[in-house]
Structure 1
Amino acid sequence: MNESKKKQAAESARFTKTRLSDRKLQVKSLTRVISFTGGKGGTGKTSVVANLAVALADLGKSVLILDADLGLANVDIILGLKPRYTLQELFAGNKTLDQIIIDGPNGISLIPAASGVKSICNLSTEEKLLLVDAIEEVAYRYDYLLIDTRAGIDPEVMYFNSSSGEIVCIINPEPTSLTDTYAVIKVLSRDYGEKEFSVVVNNTPSEAQGKRAFQKLASAVSQYLNVETRLLGCIPSDPALPRSVQQQQALNLLYPSSPAALAISELAREIDSQFHQYRIKGGMQFFFKQLLEVGTYGG
C-alpha cells in the first residue's frame, strides 16, 4: 500500500472512531440484539425468525427484524409483505429508514433487504455510518432486534453475527447441517472470538432426535473449539409450517395450535424469560460499535 492510501485509510479509521466516540446513543439500554445463522440453506431459518418475532409480539414485546441477506430479500415474502422501499433507497439518500420500515403481523416491524444492494462489507465507511445512524434513530422503540443473516461463512454473515449480542444457530438433524454449522462456529470462534452460541433444532422428527443432534454438535465444538453451546429448543417437523410459507402468513396466526407453532411460542417464552438473566455482550451500543469496527478494521 502506498503512502497516500495508508494516509487515507488512517484518516478513515480516525473519522470512524471520532464519530463513534461522539455518539450519545439514545436507545433502550436493554434492547436485545440476536442474530440467527446456520451453516447451510434449507434449515428453515428465515421462517423461524419471522414466526419467532410474531410469537414475541404475542408476549407484548416490540420486535424489529433486520433482513440482513442484503442480496436476496426473504422475510417479507414469507410474511406476505410488499415493501415499497428497501435499503437501496436509504443508501441512495432517497428515503429515511422510517419510510423503509414496514409493519408486519402482530405489530412487528421489518427492515427489508433488496436484490442489487451491495454486500455490507463492501459499503464505504460513510455508508456504514449511514446505516448505523439510521438504525439508531429507530432502535429505541423496540425490545428486540432480530437479525436474519444468510447461511454460510462469507464475510457478510460473519459481520452481522460478530456484531450481535447473541448468536443463534438454526440446525436440523441432518449430518450436513451439523457439519456446516460446526464450520460457522469454528470461524466465529477462531477469527472473531465468539465463545457462546445458542442452538435451535428445526424440522426434527422428534424431540429426542433433536436433542441428539444438538448433543453431537455440542460435543464436537466443546472438544475441538472450546466453545459453549446451549439448546434453546426443538421445533418438530410439521406440515403446517410449509403450508403457512406457501400461504405467506405467520404460522402462529394461521395454525396457532399446530405443533410447530406451539414449539415456536415456547421458544419465544424461553428467550424472553432470560431477558435479564442471560449475559448480553452489550445490547444496542455493542451492536452499533461492532457494525462499524468489524467492517472498518476487519474488512
Structure 2
Amino acid sequence: MAMLTDQAQALRQLVSETKRQSAGRRPSGERRVRTVAVTSGKGGVGKSSIAANLAVQLVRMGRRVAVLDGDLGTANLDVICNVSPSYTLAHVLVGRCRLEDVIIDAPGGFRLIPGASGLAQIAALGEVERDRILDQMHIAARDVDLLLVDAGAGIGPAVLSFATGCDQLLVVTTPEPTAIADAYAVIKVAHRRRPDVDVRVLVNMARDDEESRAVFGRIDAVCRRFLDLAPGYAGHVVHDGRVAAAIRQRVPFVISSPRCDASGCISRLAQKMVRHGADPDQAGLLRRVAGWLSG
C-alpha cells in the first residue's frame, strides 16, 4: 500500500511539473478566448441543439468555434451531429490520449470536444486525473475565437462550475412553467456563486416574439426583485417542426433547413453575440472548473 501511495505521489508531482513547464512556455500576452456556457434549469428544452446550431452559424459568420460537451451526465452532442468519436474526455482522464486527440471536426465547420459518458466517473476524479485534464484544458481553446460549453442542465456542481466560469451564461428555457421556474433556479444559484455573472436568457420553442418576451419578463421580474440582477434578453427560437426533423436526421437544422424560421432565429442570436461579446476571461473558466474538480 505504501508503495502504491508513493507511486501516486510521484505521478502527481510529474504531472504538476509538466503543467508548470507548459505554463512557462506560453507567452504572457497570449490571446484569451471568449467563453459562453449554454445551460438550462431542466432537460428537454433543446439546450444542446441550440449550442450545436449556434456554433454552425457563428462559423458561417467567420468565427472559429469550438464546442465542449460539458453535459457530463448525458453528453449527446456527438449524436446530434452524427459523429462517432474514437475518444472522449473519459479517455483523457484515464491517460489513453491527450485532449487534442479528442477534438474532432463537426458538421458545419466547428470543432467538437466530446464529453464523457457519466457524471459519477467525473465526480470521483483523483488528483492525477484532475491535473491531467486541467493541464490540457487550454488546448480546447487554441486557435479559436469562441469556446461554447454545453454545460448540462440543473444546479449540480459540474454545471455550476462551467456556468460561472465562462464569460457569459446563456440560459435556455421554454414557455412551460416548470422550465421557467427551473431557469430562474439556475440563475439564482449561479448569481450567488458569482455575483458578476453575465446572464442572458433565450426562450426556445416559443410561438412568437410576443410570447418569448412575456416569458423573459417573468424571469426578469423575479431576478430584479429577489437577486437585484437584470439578465439580458438573448431572443427566442420559434417552435418549428423542422427542428424535430433535423434531430431525427442527426444534423443541425441550420444545415438541413437554413431558411426555416428557427434558423433565422439562430442567425439573429449569433449576430447579437458577435455584436455584444463579453470581455474574455479564459483563466476564470479554468480556475472555477479546477475548484469543482478539487471538490
Which runs of 5 or more structure 1 residues have no equivalent in the other structure? 1-11
- Call closer, same or farther: CA 1:155–1:248 in 2, change over 3 Å: same
Q: Structure 1, residues 35-78: CA drift from partner, whole Å, max 9, x if none?
A: 01111111100000000000000011111111011232211101
Which runs of 5 or more structure 2 residues have no equivalent in the other structure? 1-11
Equivalent pairs counted in the alignment come to 279
What residue in structure 2 maps to residue 6 of structure 1?
none
Letter of the structure 2 residue corresponding to residue 174 of structure 1: E
Secondary structure at the aligned position of 2:112 is classed as strand
- Call closer, same or farther: CA 1:118–1:131 in 2, change over 3 Å: farther
Match of 1:100 among 102, 117, 125: 102
What residue in structure 1 maps to residue 72 of structure 2?
70
Structure 2 distance, partners of 1:139, 1:75, is 18
What residue in structure 2 maps to residue 205 of structure 1?
207
Q: Scaled by the length of structure 2, what TM-score is found? A: 0.87
User: Over the residues paired in the alignment, what is the CA RMSD in angstroms?
Assistant: 2.3
Structure 2 distance, partners of 1:20, 1:164, is 23
The question of whether the paired residues in 1 share the 8 Å contact of 2:164 and 2:193 is answered with no
Letter of the structure 1 residue corresponding to residue 81 of structure 2: L
Match of 1:226 among 225, 228, 231: 228
The question of whether the paired residues in 1 share the 8 Å contact of 2:157 and 2:292 is answered with no
The question of whether the paired residues in 1 share the 8 Å contact of 2:246 and 2:253 is answered with yes
What residue in structure 2 maps to residue 51 of structure 1?
53
Structure 1 distance, partners of 2:147, 2:245, is 26
Letter of the structure 1 residue corresponding to residue 265 of structure 2: A
Q: C-alpha displacement at 1:190, in angstroms?
A: 2.0
Q: Scaled by the length of structure 1, what TM-score is found? A: 0.86
What residue in structure 2 maps to residue 149 of structure 1?
151
Letter of the structure 2 residue corresponding to residue 23 of structure 1: A
202-211 or 150-159, which deviates more? 150-159
Q: C-alpha displacement at 1:289, in angstroms?
A: 2.1
What residue in structure 1 maps to residue 40 of structure 2?
38
Q: C-alpha displacement at 1:205, in angstroms?
A: 0.6
Structure 1 distance, partners of 2:121, 2:214, is 36
What residue in structure 1 maps to residue 217 of structure 2?
215
What residue in structure 2 maps to residue 110 of structure 1?
112
Letter of the structure 2 residue corresponding to residue 190 of structure 1: R
Q: C-alpha displacement at 1:131, in angstroms?
A: 1.4
What residue in structure 2 maps to residue 293 of structure 1?
291
Structure 2 distance, partners of 1:235, 1:158, is 24
Structure 2 distance, partners of 1:140, 1:226, is 36
Q: Map 1:217-296 onto structure 2 (within 5 A).
A: 217-275=219-277, 278=278, 280=279, 282-296=280-294
Secondary structure at the aligned position of 1:23 is classed as helix
What residue in structure 1 maps to residue 6 of structure 2?
none
Q: C-alpha displacement at 1:196, in angstroms?
A: 3.0
- Call closer, same or farther: CA 1:138–1:216 in 2, change over 3 Å: closer
Q: C-alpha displacement at 1:152, in angstroms?
A: 0.7
- Call closer, same or farther: CA 1:260–1:226 in 2, change over 3 Å: same
What residue in structure 1 maps to residue 8 of structure 2?
none
Letter of the structure 2 residue corresponding to residue 53 of structure 1: A
Letter of the structure 2 residue corresponding to residue 97 of structure 1: L
The question of whether the paired residues in 1 share the 8 Å contact of 2:93 and 2:130 is answered with no
Structure 2 distance, partners of 1:207, 1:21, is 52
Q: C-alpha displacement at 1:122, in angstroms?
A: 3.1
Q: Structure 1, residues 239-277: CA drift from partner, whole Å, max 9, x if none?
A: 0111000000111111000000111011111101123xx
21-30 or 175-184, which deviates more? 21-30
The question of whether the paired residues in 2 share the 8 Å contact of 1:195 and 1:227 is answered with no
Letter of the structure 1 residue corresponding to residue 290 of structure 2: L
